[in-house]
Amino acid sequence: MVKKKIITKEKLDEMKGFEEIMDLVVNEHEKIEVEKKQRESDKINDSYHLYNFLEDEASRLEKLSKFFGTKINNFKNFNQTKHILKKQSQQKTLTKSDLAEYEMKKNSPLNIQLGKLFNSLF
């Protein structure tokens, strides 16, 4: 343990300017140390963010791979294209026949408009 030294008032007055200079020097030294620590923590934090981003990206790509792999396997094993095309063609022919029946009526909008057109021309 360091013993306290008793300083007289004269020496204390002489040291006042020196104390201020030492405070400036110590403060500058402390600022440099704080900046170094800040830079080190920033480096660690940056590497953490980069590592976290890479982990998340790897997880996302893995999920995409599983999703598309499952979809392709389902498409190969349970291909429904022919069935869907057949259903759509049946629905198309049914709709065409319904539309033709509707438009062949005397009071259909098509016949009314064609009648107006012929009456205005002749």
Containing structural domain, residue 100? 81-122
Whether 49 and 68 map to the same domain: the answer is yes
Residue 1 lies in a domain: no
- pLDDT for the residue 117: 92
Q: d(Cα 116, Cα 120) in Å, to the nearest integer?
A: 6
Whether 65 and 87 map to the same domain: the answer is no
Residue 57 lies in a domain: yes
Average pLDDT of the chain to the nearest whole number: 83
Amino acid letter at 42? D
**Do the beta carbons of residue 103 and residue 111 sit within 8 Å?**
yes
Whether 36 and 90 map to the same domain: the answer is no
Number of compact structural domains in the chain:
2
Whether 23 and 72 map to the same domain: the answer is yes
Residue 74 lies in a domain: yes
Q: Low-confidence residues of the chain, pLDDT below 50?
A: none
- pLDDT for the residue 49: 80
Residue 96 lies in a domain: yes
Residue 113 lies in a domain: yes
Whether 65 and 89 map to the same domain: the answer is no
Q: d(Cα 69, Cα 5) in Å, to the nearest integer?
A: 81
- pLDDT for the residue 76: 78
Whether 63 and 104 map to the same domain: the answer is no
| Tokens read off for 99 | 């539309």
Residue 2 lies in a domain: no
- pLDDT for the residue 86: 96
